[in-house]
Amino acid sequence: MKKYLLSPGPTPVPEECLAKMAEPIIHHRTPAYVEMNKLAMEKMKKVFYTDGDVLIFVSSGTGAMEGAVVNTIDKNDKAIVVRSGKFGERWGELVETYGGVPLYIDLEWGKKLEPKLIADLLDKNPDTKAVFTTLTETSTGIVYPIKEIGEIVSGTDALLIVDAISGLGGQEFYMDDWKVDITVSGSQKGLMLPPGQAYAAVNEKAWKIIKQKSRACYYFNWAKYLKGQVGAGKDPFTGAVSHTKALLKALEIIEKDTMESRFQRYKVLAKACRAAVNAIGLELFAEVPCDVVTAVKVPEGIDGKLLVKKLRDEYGVTIAGGQAHVAGKIFRIAHMGYIERFDIIIIISALEMVLAELGYEFRMGNGVAAAQKILAEEYI
């Protein structure tokens, strides 16, 4: 059976990048690798839209999240954490792990964030060291107003630290213009690579703070990366040489395509996906749906877990179910990374077949037609 991967990470990898992963291994202390590494860091700046420094780690995205916390938060430091999904919760768990004091903004999952909540909390707690939030909260499919949050936080001493692990490369995001101080990401989502590499973009305001911190850690001590990796291309530890080769290929693809046309394309893919599920009679989960993943409420009387399982095992299409308390209640279709118009047609078509099989009443083909119409008119 042919397999289709439309999960919000890992995502499919273009053949050119897979071919790079299969090349012979080179040593990470050779000039060839150092040059590649420098080039990758330089080109990644364009993806983050920053003049700051880009660090590259051997880990999944969470390693960069952990680094962002341990390098900026000491024991008893206050940090505002937007907690309204699995990954916002992760920021909170990390802050707690390192003895920081999280000030939580708890929202119901999928509900929109009023930036004023952050402004009010910062007013009441002027000693806050950082605000941790997420560009696209993958567990709920929402996009947060990072630009507005940046306006608020940049007027204070606190750092704005954004998890763009699923959003980077697909959801519009301009790190410097939006006054974000640290952005973290990972390889296996919008960047079209296998899991295993993580990235952080760090600006001057953040480096000033990082240099004052005690950093109770070894591997993710960012000062080590600043010294060897940034500028000089020398990883403090063994770099993921195959990933870096594939990353350069992915960056070449992105560069040719352009970031702006990619932003536009994912908007259309998301719109087609939303139109399709609406035409099937289903509802979206997020109040402000993002462009890289669509979260959909499982209709009354349908077993959401069985739906996702059948799609995977009987139709070969992998999407994601819901996490934590929304397990079985939502499903998530990703359109990030190496996903194009006909991938949307495949998942919508398969979804319709499984829903029909499970006894859901609707007119088969309505979803596909709705997606097709938008893709025919607006796809770039």
Ligand X SMILES: *Cc1c(COP(=O)(O)O)cnc(C)c1O
Applying CB under 6 A, the residues found at the interface with ligand X are 8-9, 60-62, 87, 134, 138, 163, 165-166, 186
3-state secondary structure of 206: helix
Dist. CA 187–CA 196, nearest whole Å: 7
Q: Considering the complex, what minimum distance in angstroms separates the CB of residue 134 from ligand X?
A: 5
Comparison of 33 and 87: residue with beta carbon closer to ligand X: 87
CB nearer to ligand X: pick between 61 and 233:
61
**CB 370, min distance to ligand X, A:** 27
Extended beta strands in 52-146, E state: 53-58, 78-83, 101-106, 128-134, 136-137, 142-143
User: Least separation, in Å, of the C-beta of 369 and ligand X?
Assistant: 31
Could you give the CA distance from residue 225 to residue 227 in angstroms, rounded to a whole number? 5
Determine the Cα–Cα distance for residues 352 and 366; give it in Å rounded to an integer. 9
The closest of 243, 68, 54, 270 to 170, measured between CA atoms, is 270
3-state secondary structure of 25: coil
Q: Which of 328, 275, 333 is nearest to 298 (CA)?
A: 328
**In the complex with ligand X, which residue's Cβ is closer, 143 or 275?**
143
In angstroms, the CA 168 to CA 177 distance is: 15
Q: How far is the CB of 163 from ligand X (least distance, A)?
A: 5
Of the two residues 233 and 289, which places its CB atom closer to ligand X in the complex?
Answer: 289
Instruction: Give the angle 110-293-192 at the CA atoms, nearest 5°.
Output: 145
* DSSP state letter for 312: H
Q: Is the Cβ of residue 110 or residue 186 nearer to ligand X in the bound state?
A: 186
- 317-321 contacts at long range (C-beta below 8 A, 24 or more positions apart): 317/3, 317/4, 317/6, 317/346, 317/347, 317/350, 318/3, 318/4, 318/5, 318/6, 318/7, 319/6, 319/7, 319/347, 320/7, 320/8
Give me the least distance between CB of 257 and ligand X, in Å please: 22
Q: How far is the CB of 359 from ligand X (least distance, A)?
A: 32
**Cβ closer to ligand X: 197 or 372?**
197
Please state, in angstroms and rounded to a whole number, the distance separating the CA atoms of residues 153 and 253.
Answer: 34
We find the least distance from the C-beta atom of residue 62 to ligand X, in angstroms, to be 3
In angstroms, give the least distance from the CB of 166 to ligand X.
3
